Structures are given as structure tokens and as C-alpha cells.
Amino acid sequence: MTFLYPGFLWALLAMSIPLVIHLFNFRKTQKVYFSNTRFIQQVQEATSAKRKLKHLLVLAARLLFIFFLVMVFAQPILPAHEQLKPGAVVALYLDNSQSMSAPAMDGVRALDMAISTANTLVQNLPSETRYRLLTNDFEPFSNSLKTGKEVQDQLTQIRLSGRKRSAQEITHRLQLGDTADEIFWLSDFQQSTLGDFQSEDSTQRFHLLPIQGPATSNLFVDTLFLNNPFPIGGERNALTVRLYNDGDQERSQVTIRLTIDDLQAGTATTTLAPHAFGEVNFEIPSGEQGARKVLLSFTDNPIAFDNEFYAVLDFSNRLTVLEIKEDATRTVIETVFGNKKVFEVESYQSKNVNYGRLARTNLLVLNEVSRLDAALLQSVQNYLDGGGSVFIIPSDKPDLLSYKALVPSLQESKQEQLLALAKPDFNNPFFASIFQEQSAQMAMPVVRNSLEWGSDRQAILVQQDGKPYLSLFQGRGTVFVLGGPLQPAYSTLSNHALFVPVMYRLAASTKRKQQELYHLVSQPVVSIAGDSLSGNALVTLAGKEELTPAQRKTPSDYVLDLAGLDIKEGGYAIKNGKDTLTWLAFNQDKQESKFKLMQEDALRESFGPQADVYQVQDQSTQAMAAAIKENYQGIPLWKYALVAALFFILMEVLLLRFWRS
């Protein structure tokens, strides 16, 4: 125990005053004589003993009153557990991720409680202390030292952020610039986001302040996807939403609402078991065109930051088909892909090919080209190396050697008769969502092969004799091979109802780049189709706010660098000037929605036994503030001394007033 004002201890000499008064009684006594004093003598002895005891108690009360009164002015204090050297550098990391929007004690947001606790900490540390204040945004103000007043001003401006940071990212950031002697870590310490901790400076001390409320369950959207990722030509489609129940209780009758372009398009109800996934499906209206903004929403309290999920369904991108043929005659390929809202078709003769168009081609069709010359073959191979897709329709007499460079298993077919195709395998994913009715009575076209490649159990179409007619070969790229030409003498497929949906699905499945339905706010880079943009075009994101990211053009894409931008969840129009190129949707990282908080034992295991973990029974702002004051200012005892002084002066009054002797 120490004293803030030890000079007042000299006042303890005043205790000698009542002691002297009680030891020396200056009153003169008068003797009274009686004829018989035996009885009176006994009474005097008894009264004198009581008076002596009373005087001693009064003396003790006065001495103790003076003693504790002096203690009040001397202000005794139990020393603080933590001591900061003069001019120490203190780092404050304040977690402002979305999970800090959850309520802590008394319904107060965890972020608000963390800000209040940080304020209390600054108020109780020495005035000459310098600070570094760090949040998940890694703002520039965290790079320089601040005074306590400046930090308090910055604390008033902290808001929730869509960024999450691992312990490794935070500690690495704290090593840049001025190194802190003490690090105060205010967070809810989620298991899913903290990750592995590894301090780069063993001399630094970590003080962990868990800002945690009661155990909370949460419901969130894990992901969503289209059952048909490449819908074209009015095909049926459905949006599947996958939800997760992160609580210990079953969630029944959860209603999810689907909104498309601000109009409610459907609702679905589901029940989710504890710690389990569940799926709901929404039918997407056929014939959709352009980009459609999607919002999925549900009610889930008290954690509401992830109750909405954004997506974009883009039906506006056309598929590019490049056909190489022998002569200038119009072909069935140009006819079947003639819908200009869906396809962009270019046809070249094999002797006059614009190879520069291959880079932006979704599907390259080699339509009855008898022989692939060296230049064409090399260009096709380079195209496949880049992940391209080729559809081979052989001629009646193909040059086998040149085609074997693309598919080594190809052989010349000896088939002479037309054979009907077998019924499609409706369980094959290739045919998903194509047929509304699966009829076993479907009349099939007849075909004749000019090429064959052995057995293929995964063939898309097969003849009734089991030989494959349309197969997929996956290697450096994607190669589809048709068994023979589409000439009437070799096939009636082009006149059959099966031809259009098969060609559409073949083209759709080879789409080289599908725009993502959604992105995460923490995603550093996003690519969009950049065919219509020049190299110096300026693209902006217009949504809840307008942002201009760093950007660059690549041969096939336009890359937006979002690192350092504070993107809020929601839909954003991608604009070039006044033109809207497309839409992008951004959502919070789902890891923020997993509320598994680390307790004291886990924190000590992660940060090491030397870490100081603040644990208070009542995790309120007042309790946390009291713990900080006790740790850095010690425990003042003057209040207890004042109570004791008042108690003993009261005891003296009661003894003098009510003890008759």
C-alpha cells in the first residue's frame, strides 16, 4: 500500500491530544464523609470500573477517528498491477467487423461497448502516453502516433466495416512504423476469423479485452446458385438458396423472400436442424433478358447484418460462335445460332480465317473442314491451351491425321448404313432443364458416322448399336466431336426437334467466363467482360456510394482492383460514363456470421500464457472500466477510510449520549 499524499501522515501526531486529555484528568475531587461507608464504598468501586471502560472506549473511538481522517487526506492506495514507463507507446486494436453489431450486455452493441472501453482506457493511462489506433479498415491514421485526445476524437468516427482481419494480419500491421510497448486488443474474438496467432515481437505485451455477449444463434445464406448456370433460349431455370443454422436449436418455419428488381418474385418456407444446412428453390421466370438485381431476405434477430443477401442474374451476355467451313455456302450452324439476342456468329472459310477473333470466342466450330492445315491446326491448339472449346463436325472424308492432333483416339468409320440414335439419357447433366416432358416415345433421327473413337459411356448421344455419336473430350480445352457430317445423306439430326436444344446447350456449356452471381466485400479483384471497353476507359461502381477503383484491361477481361475500397453490401451498377455495362452484387463474408467466440482458455492457448485476458463477471461497460482502472490506477482506499472515520465519530457520540455511568 502507498499514499498519494504521504505528507498528511504528520497529522497523526494529533492523536496525542485525546490521549493526553484522557491520561491526565485535572478536575479536583471533594471528599464526603458518611457515618457508615461500607455499602457506599462498594457502589463507588462498581461505578468507577464502568466509567473507566467507557473512557477507554471513547478514547479508542477518538483515536481511530483521527487516524482514519488523516488517512482520508493521505489517500492510501493499493499499487496498480500494470505500470507504464513515461512516454510509452500503446497500440489499440478495435475490431469493427460486422460481427461487432451483435448485442453485448444490456443490449448495447459490442462495437459501442468496445469504443466506450477504449475511451476509458485512454482516460486512465498516463497523459504522456502515445497511441496507435488500428481498426479493420487499416486507415492511414493508424500509421502515426496520436495523443490521447486525438485518439478519443478518432474513436467517435469509427463505424462498422465489411472487412474482417485475421490475427496474423493485425499483428503484422502493428509491426509497421512505431512499435508499441503494450497492445490492447478489443474484439469479440471469433474462432472463424481470428486464425493462427504468431507475434513477430516477443517483447510486446498483449492485453485482451473480450467484448462478448450471451451465446447467440444465427441464420445466414451460405451460398446460392442457378440450377442451369448458362441459361439461354428461354430454358427453364431455378435459383437454389443454401442456408445454414448456426444455433443449437431447430429453426422452424423460416420464411425467405425473393425480390427481383424491387418486385417480390416469390417466398419459401423451410425448417433447419441445429448446425445444419437447408435448401430452398425459386423458379426463375423464363425469357428473362438483361441483368436482374436479386435480393433474398428473412427475419432473424438479434443478429441482423446478414439477413439480406444480394445477387445479380445476368441474361444479357451473348455467346460468341466462330465457324470455320470449306466454302461460302450458308450452313445450319449459322441458322441454328441465328438468334442475335443470344448469339454472335461469325463464319470464315478455312483459307481465310481471322485468327485474332479466337481470343474472344466461346465456341469454335470446325464445320466439315476436310483437312486442318498447319496454320489452322496451330491456332486451334493454342486456343485449346487457353481453355477454349471446339466443336468438330467432320466431313464425309476427313483427313484423319490432322484431326488426331486434336483427339488422338479418332479413327475412320466403316459404317455404311443409317442408324437411329438412342433416346437421350435424361440423367445426364447435359440435358438438365431442356425437356419439360421426358417421353419414351420420342422419334429419334438417323445418322451415319464418318469418324469413330471407341466406346464412351459418357457420350451425350449414342446410336442404337452403342457407338457414340456426340462425345466430349476434356483436356487442355474442351473438344466436342460429332460422328459424321450434317449433310442429309449422313444425318437427319439438323431437321429434328432435338437439334436446336442440343446445339444451344453445347454452346452454353462452353461459355468461357460466367459472371459471378455475387462477390464478397473483402474480395480484392473483380473481373468483368471488357470487349466493348478501350484500354483507357474509366469504369465506376455506382450503388450505395460511387467508387472509382484502380483498373486495367486484359485481352479478354477488364480487371477492377477493389483493395483499399470500403465497399458496402448491395448492388452496384458498373458504369462507363452514363452507360451501364453490367451489375455486380456484394455481400459480407459468411465467416463473420459464424458466432463461435473464443473463451479465456482458448485465448491463452492462442496468444500464450503471458497474455493478459480481462475477464469480468458482468461484462458491462462499467465493469470493464472498473477493471481497467484497478489494473492501471490501483485500488484507492480513501473512501473506506472516510467511512471508517464517520463510523468512529458516530460511536463516540453514541457512547457519550447513551452510556450513563
pLDDT, one tens digit per residue, over 498-533 is 898 888 888 877 765 566 889 988 888 898 876 667
Q: Which of 509, 528, 557 is the last residue of a domain?
A: 509
| Residue type at position 290 | G
- pLDDT band with cut points at 50, 70 and 90 for residue 25: low
The mean per-residue pLDDT over the stretch 166-186 comes to 84
Does residue 327 register a pLDDT over 70? yes
CB atoms under 10 Å from CB of 232, counted, come to 19
Is residue 378 domain-resident? Answer: yes
Is residue 548 domain-resident? Answer: yes
State the Cα–Cα distance between residues 265 and 244, nearest whole angstrom: 22
pLDDT at 518: 92
Does residue 416 register a pLDDT over 70? yes
- 546-580 pLDDT, tens digit per residue, is 888 988 887 667 889 988 787 888 999 998 888 88
Kindly state the cell numbers that stand for 258: 425473393
Does residue 584 register a pLDDT over 60? yes
Task: Please report where in the chains the cell 503471458 appears, as a residue.
Answer: 610
Task: Please report where in the chains the cell 451473348 appears, as a residue.
Answer: 318
State the Cα–Cα distance between residues 277 and 272, nearest whole angstrom: 7
334 and 474 inside one domain: yes
344 and 461 inside one domain: yes
641 and 629 inside one domain: no
Is residue 514 domain-resident? Answer: no
The mean per-residue pLDDT over the stretch 229-240 comes to 69
Highest mean pLDDT among 53-67, 143-157, 608-622: 143-157
Is residue 372 domain-resident? Answer: yes
- pLDDT band with cut points at 50, 70 and 90 for residue 93: very high
The Cβ-side half-sphere exposure at 345, using a 13 Å CA radius, reads 21
End-to-end CA distance of the chain: 41
State the Cα–Cα distance between residues 374 and 579, nearest whole angstrom: 43
The mean per-residue pLDDT over the stretch 312-333 comes to 86
pLDDT at 483: 93
Is residue 59 domain-resident? Answer: yes
Kindly state the cell numbers that stand for 171: 499483428
> Is 132:139 a contact under the CB 8 Å cutoff?
no
pLDDT at 648: 87
Q: Which residues pair with 226 in a beta bridge?
A: 239
- pLDDT band with cut points at 50, 70 and 90 for residue 317: low
Kindly state the cell numbers that stand for 411: 479413327
- 179-195 pLDDT, tens digit per residue, is 787 888 999 888 888 87
- pLDDT band with cut points at 50, 70 and 90 for residue 10: confident
Q: Which of 490, 509, 528 is the last residue of a domain?
A: 509
29 and 71 inside one domain: yes
Kindly state the cell numbers that stand for 203: 517483447
Highest mean pLDDT among 33-37, 118-122, 284-288, 435-439: 118-122
pLDDT at 233: 52
pLDDT at 26: 47
Backbone angles phi, psi at 549, to 5 degrees: -80, 165
Is residue 84 domain-resident? Answer: no
State the Cα–Cα distance between residues 275 and 50, nearest whole angstrom: 77
Does residue 426 register a pLDDT over 70? yes
- pLDDT band with cut points at 50, 70 and 90 for residue 331: very high
246 and 291 inside one domain: yes
> For residue 416, with 0-12 CB atoms within 10 Å meaning exposed, 13-18 middle and 19 or more buried, which class applies?
exposed
Q: What is the CATH number of the domain that holds 472?
A: 3.40.50.880
Q: Which of 527, 559, 587 is the last residue of a domain?
A: 587
- pLDDT band with cut points at 50, 70 and 90 for residue 43: low
Q: What is the CATH number of the domain that holds 625?
A: 3.40.50.410
> Is 211:100 a contact under the CB 8 Å cutoff?
yes
User: Parallel, antiparallel, or unpaired for β 205-210 and 612-613?
Assistant: parallel
- 428-468 pLDDT, tens digit per residue, is 777 765 665 556 667 889 999 999 998 888 899 999 988 99
61 and 128 inside one domain: no
- 270-294 pLDDT, tens digit per residue, is 999 999 999 999 988 766 667 889 9
- 362-406 pLDDT, tens digit per residue, is 899 999 999 999 999 999 998 888 888 999 999 998 999 999 999
Q: Which domain holds residue 533?
A: 519-587
Average predicted confidence (pLDDT) for the chain: 82
Does residue 39 register a pLDDT over 60? no
Give the DSSP H or E segment for 420.
strand 419-420
* Residue 298, phi-psi category: left (phi > 0), alpha (psi -120 to 50), beta (remainder): beta
pLDDT at 635: 66
State the Cα–Cα distance between residues 340 and 373, nearest whole angstrom: 31
Residues in the chain, total = 661
Residue by residue, DSSP assigns 221-264 as: EEEEEESSSS--TT--EEEEEEEEE-SSS-EEEEEEEEEETTEE
118 and 196 inside one domain: yes
Kindly state the cell numbers that stand for 369: 473442314
Does residue 214 register a pLDDT over 80? no
- pLDDT band with cut points at 50, 70 and 90 for residue 44: low
373 and 479 inside one domain: yes
pLDDT at 440: 60
415 and 460 inside one domain: yes
- pLDDT band with cut points at 50, 70 and 90 for residue 201: low
Percent of the chain at pLDDT above 70? 84
State the Cα–Cα distance between residues 32 and 43, nearest whole angstrom: 14
Q: Which residues pair with 258 in a beta bridge?
A: 266, 296
What sign results for the dihedral spanned by CA atoms 547, 548, 551, 555? Answer: positive
596-632 exposure pattern, b = at least 16 Cβ within 10 A, e = fewer: ebbeeeebbebbeeebbbbebeebbbeebbebbbbbb
480 and 358 inside one domain: yes
158 and 187 inside one domain: yes
Does residue 612 register a pLDDT over 50? yes
State the Cα–Cα distance between residues 565 and 163, nearest whole angstrom: 10
- For 133, 178, 180, the CA distances from 143, given in Å and listed in that order, are 8, 8, 12
582 or 199, higher pLDDT: 582
> Is 261:226 a contact under the CB 8 Å cutoff?
no
Least confident of 36-45, 137-146, 446-455, 535-544: 36-45
Highest mean pLDDT among 30-34, 54-58, 422-426, 644-648: 644-648
- pLDDT band with cut points at 50, 70 and 90 for residue 53: confident
pLDDT at 390: 94
305 and 333 inside one domain: no
Does residue 36 register a pLDDT over 80? no
Is residue 305 domain-resident? Answer: yes
Backbone angles phi, psi at 371, to 5 degrees: -140, 135
State the Cα–Cα distance between residues 635 and 626, nearest whole angstrom: 10
pLDDT at 617: 47
pLDDT at 269: 92
State the Cα–Cα distance between residues 273 and 248, nearest whole angstrom: 8
User: Parallel, antiparallel, or unpaired for β 446-447 and 419-420?
Assistant: antiparallel
Nearest to 225 by CA among 316, 297, 313: 313
Kindly state the cell numbers that stand for 289: 433478358
Q: What is the CATH number of the domain that holds 265?
A: 2.60.40.10
Instruction: Name 436's Cβ contacts closer than 8 Å, sequence gap at least 6.
Output: 236
* Number of domains within the chain: 5
